[in-house]
Amino acid sequence: MIDIQPYRLRLAQEYRWAKGVQTERGGLLVRVQAWGAEGFGESAPPIHMPFDAPALAAETRAALAGIPAEADDFLTRIDHIAPRTRCGIAAAWMSARAAAAGVPLGALLGAAPAHEVPVNGLVTEKTPDAAAARAAALVAEGYRTLKIKCWADRAEDFSRVAAIRAAVPTARLRLDANEAWHQDWALDHVRALARFDLDYVEQPIPSSRPLAEIAAFRAASPVRIALDESATDEASIRAIIAARAADVIILKTQRAGGPDRAARIIAACAEAGVQVTVTVSLESAIGTAVALHVASALPAPIPDCGIPMGRFLAEDIGPMPAVEAGVMRVPPGPGLGLRPSIAAA
Catalytic residues: 149, 252
Q: What are phi and psi of 344, to 5 degrees?
A: -75, -30
- Contact in structure between 150 and 157 (CB atoms under 8 Å): yes
- Contact in structure between 312 and 282 (CB atoms under 8 Å): yes
Q: What are phi and psi of 337, to 5 degrees?
A: 90, -5
CA 12/CA 19 separation, integer angstroms:
19
User: Minimal CA–CA distance to 249: which of 199, 318, 203?
Assistant: 203
Task: Report DSSP letters for 105-133, one per residue.
Answer: GGGGTSSS--SEEEB-EEE--SSHHHHHH
- Contact in structure between 143 and 171 (CB atoms under 8 Å): yes
